[in-house]
Structure 1
Amino acid sequence: MSNSSEAPPCASPPYLVAWPSLVSRSIAAWDDLATNEQPTRNDFPRSMLEECHSLDDFLVQGGKPLMLWFFQQRSAFMSQKRMKKWSRSELDDYVLLPSLPGFVTRHDCFFVSPFWRTQNHPDPDGEYLRSHQAELESQTWSYIWVDWTCMPQSPRSLPEEAYFHRCLRTMPGIIRNCIGMTSDIKTFLQHIYEMLKTGVQATLAKHGYRCSYVRDRQRFHFSIGTIRNIMDHMTWFNTVQIQYYSGAELIRFEGTLVVDEQMHTFTPFPRWVSSKITILGAC
């Protein structure tokens, strides 16, 4: 006979149970995403993820040495009535996708950053959500990234805070790889593709694009490969202050670019220091 005075064993928090499932589901998803053009196979991200034995173990690393993003599964996004806030109790809604070539692509992933209608919730009555669901229902994709849903929100634990700031710094990588052709940006993307074929200046002249400031149209004779390297390094090596490319010196936090010994200035990039943004030394 059991002793009625004994307390029942404590059940594990749901997120502890859901974490191993998230790991195995994510690795299985990578196999489906893998293509012959993918230069990096699954061995490195898999070993890294399997070494994280809990959600907090994963979060506290802040995505180092490799960032893995939470992407909501299509079924979860299309079935919800309101945009879900990121929650450690909702891990079954997600997969984790590595920030490596071939894993996050326009074919499989979509990016949404809604306009916030209130301070506490971007879409409290689901109006924007229904619009997005209607727009995306006929399109081919499997995973979606929404800031409210895929990044830990306030109030955050210390591990969640570390991961949140890593997300902010690497978000350009998601945007670049996920933005697809929708009706509202169709013309813009067509012009982007046209630039690849006929050149930037020819496309600007053909369609009558104008710059608010003449200096914004200054041309730098960088190859496409160099420009891609600049954008990649700006995303992934976001704490490096000075970067060098084909005779050019870029100081991102001071907002200077030196090309052929001539200095050009731009709005400095924000620097994250101890969870605060520092620009030109001012918090």
Structure 2
Amino acid sequence: MVREALESYTDMDEFFRATPMGVMYWFFQRREPFLAQKTMTKWSRDRIDDYVLLPATPGFVTRTECFFVSHFWHSSQDPDPGGKYLQLMQHDLEQQPWSFIWVDWSCVPQHPRSPEEEAYFTRVLQTMSAIIRNSGFMYFYPPFEPRLWILYEVAEQALTSVGVLPETPDYQPFIEHVREMERVSVRPTLERHGYRCTYDGDRDFLVSWLELLVLLKRLSIYVDDIRRMLDYQTWSPTLIAILHQTWNGQLVQIRRFEGVVE
């Protein structure tokens, strides 16, 4: 079915223009090109053979097969000049069994983008929470800077997982701030530590995602239930409300466009 759906597109621009009502596909870089590169490779139509397309539907992106890379951007022109952090990640990841990896610089069209690429880029942003939630998580951060994207990525991984990652010095400030959001709330924590985004528009949806994650966790809903609700929200972006009965019998409703959880 996946192959037939992809073969129905006549060219890349038609694929990028595909209606959001259809199945979303993510570019994942294959293991071999990732481990062979000397610096992070910018996404390009000329290197399509470096990728697989995985459908944004349950069961295709899994933690046994896929990794998500969380990293700082050191420059808008190149997030990792010289490949310093890439080499650290390659060293760790080549020791582990996996097949595909998602790095924003390498797996989604970057500036300058055509209108068709911009439409696809927007849909990736709207659904990338499911990539983080369903993939293994890899990171290497420089000395702490209050980057909101990094905090969100750490929160998405930590609050939708049963196990915990080792609290390395570069990871520790972010996970401590995730716990602070659980104790206090999201916005005061962001203000206290000066979290910022390069693009103001990103801040609005990142804060809303963080608030939903923290609220579900504070309601003591099981992680499996949180994952199911959030995945369903990703797979069904037009639903006004999501109704879910948890393992312990709670009935939870998310009215997404009102920002209400009952």
TM range, smaller chain: 0.5 to 0.7
Shift of 1:80: 0.8
Matches within 5 A, 1:1-283: 44-61=1-18, 64-179=21-136, 192-193=162-163, 211-213=182-184, 218-219=218-219, 226-246=225-245, 247-258=251-262
Deviation at 1:46, TM superposition (A): 1.9
- Aligned CA RMSD, in angstroms, stands at 3.1
Counterparts of 2:108 and 2:22 in 1: how far apart (Å)?
A: 18
What amino acid sits opposite 2:132 in the alignment?
I
CA distance in 2, matches of 1:75, 1:192: 30
How far is 1:166 from its partner? Answer: 1.0
Q: Secondary structure at the match of 1:128?
A: helix
Does the residue aligned with 1:112 lie in a helix, a strand or coil? strand
Give me the whole-angstrom Cα distance separating, in 2, the residues matched to 1:127 and 1:183.
Answer: 10
Which amino acid is the alignment partner of residue 13 of structure 2?
D
Q: Greater relative contact order (Cα 8 A, min sep 6): structure 1 or 2?
A: 2
Q: Deviations over 1:169-225 (max 9, x none)?
A: 11111111112589999xx79x8249xxxxxxxxxxxxxx774328967536x5777
Assess if the C-alpha contact under 8 Å between 1:63 and 1:163 holds in 2.
no
Q: Percent identity over the alignment?
A: 44
Q: CA deviation at 1:136?
A: 0.6
> CA 1:87–1:245 in structure 2 vs 1: closer, same or farther (change >3 Å)?
same
Q: In 2, distance between residues paired with 1:61 and 1:133?
A: 34
Contact 2:28/2:102 (8 A) holds in 1:
yes
Gaps of 5+ in 2: 142-153, 165-178, 186-213, 246-250
CA contact (8 A) 2:17 2:116 kept: yes
How far off is 1:93 after superposition?
1.0
- Shift in Å at residue 115 of structure 1? 0.8
Question: Partner residue of 2:202?
Answer: none
Q: Tell me the SS of whatever aligns to 2:78.
A: coil
Contact 2:162 2:223 in 1 (8 A): no
TM-score (norm 2): 0.65
* Alpha-carbon distance in 2 for matches of 1:154, 1:79: 24
Q: TM-score, normalised by structure 1?
A: 0.60
Task: Give the helix-richer structure, 1 or 2.
Answer: 2
Task: Give distance in 2, aligned partners of 1:244 and 1:233.
Answer: 10
Q: CA deviation at 1:124?
A: 1.5
- Secondary structure (helix, strand or coil) at the match of 1:103 reads coil
Contact 1:111–1:174 (8 Å) recurs in 2: yes
Task: Please state how far the C-alpha of 1:114 moved relative to its aligned partner.
Answer: 1.4
Q: Aligned to 1:139, what secondary structure does the other structure show?
A: coil
**How many residue pairs get matched?**
197
User: 1:241, CA displacement in angstroms?
Assistant: 3.7
How far is the alpha carbon of 1:240 from its aligned partner? Answer: 3.3
Asked if the contact 2:26–2:56 (Cα under 8 Å) also holds between the matched residues in 1, the reply is: yes
